[in-house]
């Protein structure tokens, strides 16, 4: 992918970013829709995706399904989990999407466009984390909302 500069994690570890998503999340095609984790800080992260030209998230009449943007944010959170596991030399935690709140679809995204997924942790209590996600396209904000995830050992 082009169009975005390569970011590095700021925590001083030897795990370089960007990393391809398939090394960080359990998803595989056709469900794997993020491409790279670009940046990871204590409470924020940045991922990247390219809008698909075909697949399960496209409807021939309406274009991208709204669920695509929720899944982009959820997979970006999963990439954080995978990155942290790599950095700490441990298996990733099991994660579940347990809530969606305050979602808005502001603009459209089109096949082939590069999207950035910006994440910010807004709440953490034991195994539950709430992340605010913003999906940004070439013309600005496309979608935003919060997801609640549970991550832990099974």
What average pLDDT is seen over the chain? 89
For residues 95 and 79, what is the distance between their CA atoms, to the nearest angstrom? 11
Give the model confidence (pLDDT) of 40-74 as tens digits. 999 999 999 999 988 889 888 878 899 999 999 99
pLDDT over 60 at 6, yes or no = no
Class of 19-93+105-121+135-143 in CATH: alpha beta
First vs last C-alpha separation in the chain: 35
pLDDT over 90 at 149, yes or no = yes
**What burial class does residue 82 get, using C-beta atoms within 10 Å of its C-beta: 0-12 exposed, 13-18 middle, 19+ buried?**
buried
pTM of the model: 0.88
């Amino acid at each position: 992918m082009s169009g975005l500069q390569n970011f590095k994690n700021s925590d001083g570890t030897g795990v370089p970013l960007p990393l391809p998503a398939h090394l960080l999340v359990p998803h595989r095609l056709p469900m794997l829709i993020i491409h790279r984790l670009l940046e990871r800080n204590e409470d924020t992260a940045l991922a990247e995706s390219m809008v698909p030209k075909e697949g399960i998230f496209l409807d021939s009449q309406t274009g991208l399904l709204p669920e695509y943007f929720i899944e982009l944010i959820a997979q970006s959170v999963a990439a954080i989990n995978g990155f942290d596991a790599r950095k700490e030399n441990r298996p990733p935690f099991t994660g579940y999407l347990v809530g969606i709140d305050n979602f808005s679809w502001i603009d459209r995204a089109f096949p082939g466009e590069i999207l950035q997924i910006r994440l910010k942790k807004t709440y953490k209590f034991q195994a539950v984390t709430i992340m605010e996600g913003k999906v940004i396209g070439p013309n600005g904000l496309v979608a935003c909302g919060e997801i609640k995830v549970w991550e832990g050992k099974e």
